Structure 1
């Protein structure tokens, strides 16, 4: 009997099978070790980024005409002696060149000491701890709502391109893209608080009450979350719609339809996996816009988050607080990009995390 691997006197070995977890057609997903290496590389790359960000912050502070010491003591410093000002400047680590101030701040920050807020007269860590939770609650809920609702509307619009639903969803998304968050916030206050009177205009507690209850929190949280979610919604809608539309014209989807598979299974089982990949990359790019939108929304609704501290730090040249908030914003952006990369590596088996 002839050897099936012998052709014209030449012996051919069978094609090697890709090992599980390695790149290739047989790979079903990246190994956790590859994702861990990706996270490690991103963490190392974040070090020079944060270094440049903080150095730039202190360079701007050094070039600013504002004196942090006089900002700290206010009108009490009008009659203060130069020795008193120099002593206070030394205690606030505001003496020396901007490089020396940056190095002193960095050494303290690595030990958990972010300095003293010049305007709020309390440690920066306390300022952040009091406000970060409220900002995270607002941003987290708004992001989840915009992501869930945006992908749902995008898929529904992509199922029937050119239909009335598709035209309405797409037109509304383009309209919302041009609407700034603060305008949406003012419109929501005018409609739901002033005209209809169904929701409070801002704050965290009801008038005449200092107690935060679950009911009052839900009422006061509704408008800020809704406005911030709506401001982020159109990008998820449009990206999902285009991604699913492209996926519906790919060869695997056409093959599934040719085999007689029903349209629902084709959409959910074949088109969505590749169609939602662009949305994963969008997650990282929307983080800066989410932070900016949250600052505007918190300011309009008097939400007790990081916005009030950021505005006070910027207008009063509170550089210790401003430096910490800048670092937090940079870390949030880097974390968003890392999350998008990890999700993309998990969702697309063709992607090798070691090559990202």
Structure 2
């Protein structure tokens, strides 16, 4: 299954990269503006044309794509025009911070969903269940950037408990303490944006599991409630939950970009916006393919884990 899925990923990635180049070519932004910056207004028409010829900006997009694809096959991601450095260096500088943010948020969301999902399912119909599910349903329709602005208003500006944005305080060196303190708000916001779907799914799956024969039998034998929930009902509910986590990865990637923009987190969000506005083909294609790879691998990993947890599921199904 894994080999087949990986082979199918190749044409998907190729098609994704082709679409990116095609859409970028249709962009109204002039890539030379980003390349020259303030000098664009003072550069003469002859100088601008010379740069266009040198950079190949007037070449058809498919020719630019073929050059980029050839370099990619040789291990070269190309050079970012907007940053003036190799794409690999741009990713090396920014990607670890995005992984830290998204990874922390995913762990928080999963852990919170499991705890609250189990609690509300076991206390179905109680006050806590009604409050938690109502809040979760309300949060489903709230965009991450709205949650981010609300969090900044409450915890940063109102209570002054946490910093507003950035990786460290102004002038402070990068340290575990500084980064951890600045990570709390963006990671918390991103976790909250993913939490409703995970929590409600765990709750519903557990409620359904409580009606299955082996759980009913465990209750009838007088086993403690903790044992019934954690050892009999929860393993059954976790199987579809694993798949859901994999399908939420696209939303996690999108949410991370929005949250990074609001909190000025030094991840790939700024690079995505800058490469799109300045039609930076190599960087934009690399970032898009990276996001596609994350989604494909996440989906594959979820299916593999599902198969391992439940041997009854055929791997070739």
1:71, 1:186 → 2: CA distance?
29
TM-score by length of 2: 0.94
Alignment partner for residue 88 of structure 1, among 47, 54, 74?
54
Distance 1:302 1:71, change over 3 A: closer
Provide structure 1 residue ranges, at least 5 long, that are not aligned to the other structure: 1-37
Alignment partner for residue 93 of structure 2, among 107, 130, 141?
130
Distance 1:77 1:284, change over 3 A: farther
1:69, 1:89 within 8 Å by CA — same for their partners in 2? no
Alignment partner for residue 18 of structure 2, among 55, 78, 87?
55
Tell me, what secondary structure is at the counterpart of 1:232? helix
Deviation above 4 Å: which 4+ runs of structure 1? none
Provide structure 2 residue ranges, at least 5 long, that are not aligned to the other structure: none
1:313, 1:319 within 8 Å by CA — same for their partners in 2? yes
2:167, 2:179 within 8 Å by CA — same for their partners in 1? yes
Tell me, what secondary structure is at the counterpart of 2:142? coil
2:167, 2:47 → 1: CA distance?
43
Computing the radius of gyration from Cα coordinates, the structure with the larger value is: 1
State the Cα RMSD in Å. Answer: 1.7
Note the C-alpha offset of 1:69: 4.3
**Residues 111-160 of structure 1, C-alpha deviation per residue, up to 9 Å, x if partnerless?**
22122212111111111110000000000000001001111100111112
Corresponding residue of 1:68: 31
1:46, 1:334 within 8 Å by CA — same for their partners in 2? yes
1:227, 1:141 → 2: CA distance?
11
Alignment partner for residue 146 of structure 1, among 102, 109, 118?
109
1:95, 1:107 → 2: CA distance?
19
Corresponding residue of 2:207: 245
2:289, 2:122 → 1: CA distance?
42
Identify the structure with the greater helix proportion.
Answer: 2
1:240, 1:279 within 8 Å by CA — same for their partners in 2? yes
